[in-house]
């Protein structure tokens, strides 16, 4: 008779996290060795890659949504990294003056919202 694998109890949160990382690592290398996609684990990985084309595209879209690769992909010395318009970038900026203004406004708004939220919380005490 086979014994069922029971979920192990971990002493600390970090121990549990470490176990998860270990398991992911094993899965990653296991899939890679078999030539399977490390993301979904069952579709064959693309040539020279660790993911299948489907997961690769999914990952890419996710990254683009996060804005992770947008700067890298778009940025050069004479294109705004936000609107991609050709412009002269000054003072080490990556965006044109128009987008810079927009950025400033959104940052100011976010900051104001943050401050008012915290102020309200303070008032609520008592
Ligand atoms: Zn996949
Ligand atoms: Zn711009």
Tens digits of residue pLDDT in 45-81: 988 889 998 888 887 777 777 765 554 445 566 778 7
How many angstroms separate the alpha carbon of residue 13 from the centre of ligand 1? 30
- What's the pLDDT score for residue 10? 86
Q: Give dist(CA 77, CA 74) in Å, integer.
A: 10
Query: What is the chain's mean pLDDT, rounded?
Result: 82
Q: What is the average pLDDT across 97-121? A: 88
How many angstroms separate the alpha carbon of residue 65 from the centre of ligand 1? 19
Q: Give dist(CA 50, CA 52) in Å, integer.
A: 7
Which residues lie near ion ligand 2 (Cβ < 5 Å)? 80, 82-83, 96, 99
pTM of the full predicted structure?
0.42
- What's the pLDDT score for residue 72? 47
How many angstroms separate the alpha carbon of residue 90 from the centre of ligand 2? 12
- Give the CA distances from residue 117 to residues 35, 103, 107, 109, 123, in Å, rounded to whole numbers and listed in that order: 51, 21, 15, 12, 10
How many angstroms separate the alpha carbon of residue 103 from the centre of ligand 2? 10
Among all ligands shown, which has an atom nearest to the Cα of 78? 2
Residue 98 has pLDDT above 80, yes or no: yes
């Amino acid at each position: 008779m086979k014994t069922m694998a029971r979920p192990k109890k971990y002493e600390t949160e970090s121990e549990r996290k470490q176990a998860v990382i270990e398991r992911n690592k094993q899965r990653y290398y296991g899939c890679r060795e078999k030539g399977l996609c490390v993301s979904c684990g069952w579709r064959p990985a693309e040539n020279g890659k660790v993911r299948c084309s489907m997961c690769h595209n999914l990952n890419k879209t996710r990254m683009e949504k996060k804005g992770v690769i947008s700067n890298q992909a778009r940025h050069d010395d004479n294109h705004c990294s936000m609107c991609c318009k050709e412009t002269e970038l000054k003072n080490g900026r990556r965006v044109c003056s128009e987008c810079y203004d927009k950025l400033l406004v959104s940052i100011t708004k976010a900051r104001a919202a943050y401050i008012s939220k915290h102020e309200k919380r303070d008032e609520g005490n008592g």
